[in-house]
Amino acid sequence: MTESRTTAAHGGAIGLHGIKKWFGNFQAVDNVTLDIRPNEFFTLLGPSGCGKTTLLRMIAGFEMPTEGQVLLDGSDISGLLPNQRPVNTVFQNYALFPHLTVAENIGFGLKMLGRPKAEITSVVNDMLKLVHLDGRGHNPVTQLSGGQQQRVALARALAPRPKVLLLDEPLSALDLKLRKSMQIELKRLQLETGITFVFVTHDQEEALTMSDRIAVMSAGTVRQVGSPWDIYDRPAERFVADFIGETNFLSADVVSVADNRARVRLSSGAEISASFPADVTPNGSVTVVVRPEHARAGAPTGTSALRGVVHDIVYLGTDTHVHVRLDDGTAFMVRQQNARSGHCGFSKGDTVGIDFSDDVAQILRD
């Protein structure tokens, strides 16, 4: 069993075409079009109320889109009931059946599909091994810890070998340490089973750690889709840059555009090179973002890109955040790794020059 699982690719492709969803007067999802590839770990990331869970529930079949289509491997499944879709869900609070044992929970889907008893028993045993719960099959689920319940929920959803596994904030109820280990566990399960995972979370770190691709959502719309690197290093707009990680916003004027790079002039007068989203041609005044760890603070020199005065220093153990008030009044943060023990080298009130690594500045859309 395990061998066939690792070799075969079972993942289905999900297509969401022009999905709109209204609940009364409230529009939860506004014209979402997404293509989720087979065997990928795809994350819907956004703040609460952005429509990510509604989107997931429409893939599962618990909600019907007001407009638009849900496709599985190219065929329209919009009209199918949840029990007719080869898609399973790991619910936020697990939703384990409290009156059944661990094994009965895991075997539930296969039993409903009318599989023979022997097959159910063997799949259940495989699943128990897969989630490290061997020998716990006869325990009542109510006696398990949160982390163990989580793994039963995963095994229960994986047992019928769905084409797509939907995960609705499955780690949010766990404590930090358990959450970290479950992140690795989830990624391992996804690679081992080859099933397409669609993961919903509001935790950006979770999304960056596990995903092959991320869709960042806000107010019912998809703001940007891309790899964790794209999303973090090449945010297309202010919401994405702001929601994921910490960042510095600088106003600048476009000087010239060549290929996929632009020269922009910062308020200090310095010119730097910046990338921009593929679907825009930057001109006039734009906003440029630079991540705090991509900037360096040092003694001001003639060639420094920016100049300012240190007004706060925050020591975080691994890093130190140096908060600088730039000459034009903008706040700017530099994150320095504490490679050496001791003081970061600045004190409040120092005048510093700031430089960037190459290729780190990104121009936002509009």
Partner 1 sequence: MNGAEQVAIEARKQDIRSRWLLSAPALVIIFVAAIGPLFVMLLYSFMVKGDYGDVKPWEFSLDGWTSVFFQRDIFDDTLGLADAHISIIWRSIQLSFFTTILTLILGFPTAYFIATRPPHTREIWVFLVTIPFWTNLLIRTFAMQQVIRNEGLLNNALIWLGIIKSPLQIIYTDTANLLGMTYVYLPLMVLPLYASIEKLDFRLVEAGYDLYATRFQVLRKIVIPLVKPGIIAGSILVFIPSLGAYVIPRVLGGGKNMMLGNLIEMQFGAGRNWPLGAAMSITLMIIVMVALIVYVRNASRGGSGHV
Chain positions contacting partner 1, by CB under 8 A: 60-62, 81-83, 87-89, 91, 93, 95-101, 103-104, 107-109, 111-113, 120-121, 124, 156-157, 160
Alpha-carbon distance of 302 to 105, in angstroms, equals 68
**Cβ proximity to partner 1, 103 vs 288, nearer residue:** 103
**Shortest distance, position 53 Cβ to partner 1, whole Å:** 12
Beta strand residue intervals within 184-315, DSSP E: 196-201, 213-218, 221-226, 248-258, 261-266, 271-275, 285-290, 295-298, 306-315
Sheet holding 87-90, edge to edge: 87-90, 164-168, 196-201, 41-45, 213-218, 221-226
Cβ of residue 156: shortest distance to partner 1, in angstroms?
7
Minimum CB separation from partner 1 for residue 317, in Å?
40
- 144 vs 208 by CB, closer to partner 1: 144
Torsional sign, CA 224, 228, 229, 232: positive
What is the smallest separation between the CB atom of 54 and partner 1, expressed in angstroms? 14
| Minimum gap (Å) between residue 118 Cβ and partner 1 | 12
Smaller CB separation from partner 1, 93 or 148: 93
DSSP structure string for 203-216: -HHHHHHH-SEEEE
Identity of the residue, 28 or 297, whose beta carbon is nearer to partner 1 in the bound complex: 28
- Name the residue among 302, 301, 340, 295 with its Cα closest to residue 321: 295
Nearer residue to partner 1 within complex by CB, 21 or 291: 21
Nearer to partner 1, 138 or 340 (CB): 138
CA neighbours closer than 13 Å in the CB half-sphere of residue 103:
16
Helix (H) or strand (E) holding 356: strand 351-356
Q: Which residue has the tokens 């590839």?
A: 37
Least gap, CB of 78 to partner 1 (angstroms) = 16
CB of residue 155 to partner 1, shortest distance in Å: 12
C-alpha distances in Å from residue 20, one per residue of 45, 60, 63, 68, 226: 18, 16, 11, 6, 22
Q: Which DSSP string do the residues of 121-159 spell out, in sequence order?
A: HHHHHHHHHHTT-TT-TTSBGGGS-HHHHHHHHHHHHHT
